[in-house]
Amino acid sequence: MNIINYSGVTKRYNSWPRGNKVLALDGFSLQIEQGEVFGFLGPNGAGKSTALKILLNFVYPSAGTVSLMGRSVSDRRARSLVGYLPENPYFYDYLTAKEILWFGGKASGLHTNEIQDRTEMLLDKMGLKVSSERPLRTYSKGMVQRAGIALALVHDPEVVVLDEPMSGLDPIGRKLVGDLIRELKTQGKTVFFSSHILTDVERFCDRAGIIVGGKLRLVGNMADLLSGEGTLENVFMREVKTAVGGGSR
């Protein structure tokens, strides 16, 4: 069953007041199945974050349709079972990790007891239990990232969308997030994450896709992708060179 479905999505940003349009996504189609861990790769400005933001309804597609668990992403109910970590997350300065998790749980319809239990468990798992009562502005970048991951998971979502989850994390933090992605997979959750760290994608993902210049260049099972070139880095470089050179698949 396709849990995420992009169909012919195009996104143009208007560059006001100059009037020229930036094409961020060009006829982008992608299907992700339930229980899959999908790695989304691409150079900077390729359209990865735009694709994720359209899925969360932060930006609207200029053309095409996007659905999440069978609902159009414009329907707010589609987000009830989705957890999202933005790239370089920023939260309210004066609130604590416990308070943002309370908000995440309440806004997703959880009961107070459930929120308390999940908050304790997640903050412990993310190594933030000791600092859970401190305002978030006193957190380091890695701590904010981990608090963001806890917020994304507080309501036990079916689909987890992570935009550069390893960004700003030290090796311990990266291992923590890696283990978490594996754990989510064993729980049957769908994980859709973008990353620049190709080895992470190789290690954690069932499938991966490479986007360049707003176009999805390649999608496939990890084993199939690696069968010819040996490493994901080689595959990635080949696709980027082909796209930049004007080639098409």
Tell me, rounded to whole angstroms, the distance of Cα 130 from its chain centroid: 27
Instruction: Decide whether 50 or 145 has the Cβ nearer to other proteins.
Output: 50
- The contacts of residue 170 (CB under 8 Å, 6+ apart) are 142
- For Cα atoms 49, 67, 187, give the angle at the middle one, nearest 5 degrees: 80
Closer of 103 and 121 to other proteins (Cβ): 103
Nearer to other proteins, 107 or 237 (CB): 107
Residue 79 binds other proteins (CB under 8 A): yes
Using the rule CB under 8 A, is 103 a contact of other proteins? yes
Which residues, 6+ apart, have CB-to-CB distance to 176 below 8 Å?
A: 125, 126, 127, 146, 169
Kindly state whether residue 119 participates in binding other proteins, applying the rule CB under 8 A.
no
Q: State how far the Cα of 2 lies from the Cα of 5, in Å rounded to an integer.
A: 6
By CB under 8 A, what part of segment 44-63 binds other proteins? Answer: 50, 53, 56-60
Contacting other proteins (CB under 8 A), which of 28, 40, 102, 204? 102
Rounded-to-integer distance, Cα 104 and Cα 55, Å: 18
What is the Cα–Cα distance from 82 to 32, expressed in whole angstroms? 14
Closest approach of Cβ 199 to other proteins, in Å?
Answer: 27
If one asks whether residue 89 binds other proteins (CB under 8 A), the answer comes out as: yes
Dihedral angle of Cα 74, 76, 81, 83, to the nearest 10 degrees: 80
Q: Is residue 153 close enough to count as binding other proteins by CB under 8 A?
A: no
Is residue 21 close enough to count as binding other proteins by CB under 8 A? no
Closest separation in Å from C-beta 247 to other proteins: 29
Q: Is 34 in the site for other proteins (CB under 8 A)?
A: no
**Count of chain residues binding other proteins (CB under 8 A):** 36
Of positions 27, 35, 127, 135, contacts other proteins by CB under 8 A? 135
